[in-house]
Amino acid sequence: MLDYQFIENKGKECIVLLHGIGGGRNVFHKQMKKYRKEFSVLAITLPGHGNSPDIADYRLPFSFNIVSEEIFKTMDAIGLKKCHFVGISLGSVILHNILQLRPERVKSAILGGAVTKFNLFSKSLLFTGGLLKEVTPHMFIYRLFANIMMPKKNHAVSREFFIQEAKKMKRHNFIKWFDIARNVESTYVCVQEVSKNVPKLYISGEEDHLFIKRLQKDVKDDQSAHVHIIEDCGHVCNIENAEAFNTTSLTFMKKHGDGSLLHHDSPQYLPTAK
């Protein structure tokens, strides 16, 4: 089973936190204090990261479906049937996959730095990375991608955080995650249709230059989705502007709690708040 940290707030609904590739649940260190005051929190460590199972331990080919099923098993072990979910970067991709597989387990979805599809430049990056991965250290590829995704001076803290976290990852685990990242688009194909009853909030930095335009185009017809843009902020918006991310995400989750554990009186969601 996956490694996790479960902080129970007696009688409160639960948030499941999903980090990105090379990261860890520490990526939510600026959310934990705020979230645990209002909710129970389940912070999951994904396969190939930290103390979770090595990807080589899986008998079937590694995939987003395997990751999603592992998350369901972890929830089942704790006794969680339906939760709010918060995913960052590749964690948002896994959340999309969960929305396609088991939307009934999601009360609301917060997708930070979300990826729906790759533009031509992103596809070129993946192609280049595919050529380099067998002949260069994996950290070279990770650093390259981190600097391209988060190039500005105000992105430095989140960029360096992810690079330092990725150093803890074994090369073969990184390669497996890199390989399935090419299948990102498959995780969004049926999201709007299958999860039309699940409230979704996309939070992105306006400087998330690789993904934001495609995201806005893809979700514009999703009646259950809101897009919230944080100014002067890049890809890892929950670190770069934690205050805006926390306020917006908490308000949304409170509004869309179903009262299965505790009924919340929720303030009205403000979609343009920054």
The predicted-structure confidence for 188-214, as pLDDT tens digits, reads as follows 999 999 999 999 999 999 999 999 999
What pTM was computed for the model?
Answer: 0.92
Q: Is the pLDDT of residue 40 over 50?
A: yes
Strands (E), the chain: 4-7, 14-18, 40-44, 83-88, 106-112, 200-205, 225-230
pLDDT of residue 174: 95
Cross-strand bridge partners of residue 205: 230
Q: Is the pLDDT of residue 264 over 70?
A: no
Q: Is the pLDDT of residue 263 over 50?
A: no
Mean pLDDT of 141-151: 94
Q: Is the pLDDT of residue 265 over 90?
A: no
pLDDT over 90, % of the chain: 89
Q: Is the pLDDT of residue 272 over 50?
A: no
pLDDT of residue 269: 32
Angstrom distance (rounded) from CA 118 to CA 120: 7
Backbone angles phi, psi at 111, to 5 degrees: -120, 105
Angstrom distance (rounded) from CA 47 to CA 194: 26
Q: CB–CB of 270/247 below 8 Å?
A: no
pLDDT over 70, % of the chain: 94
Of residues 75, 35, 57, 31, the one with CA closest to residue 240:
31
pLDDT of residue 23: 86
Quickly state the pLDDT bin for 271 (edges 50, 70, 90): very low
Q: Is the pLDDT of residue 261 over 90?
A: no
Quick count: other Cβ atoms within 10 Å of Cβ 258? 12
User: pLDDT tens-digit profile of 68-82?
Assistant: 999 999 999 999 999
In CATH terms, is domain 4-255 a member of 3.30.70.260? no
pLDDT of residue 134: 86
Angstrom distance (rounded) from CA 100 to CA 4: 23
User: pLDDT tens-digit profile of 64-113?
Assistant: 999 999 999 999 999 999 999 999 999 999 999 999 999 999 999 999 99
pLDDT of residue 260: 56
Tokens of 29: 């260190």
- How is the chain split among helix, strand and coil, in percent rounded to 5? 50, 15, 40
pLDDT of residue 230: 98
Q: CB–CB of 23/49 below 8 Å?
A: yes
Q: Is the pLDDT of residue 262 over 70?
A: no
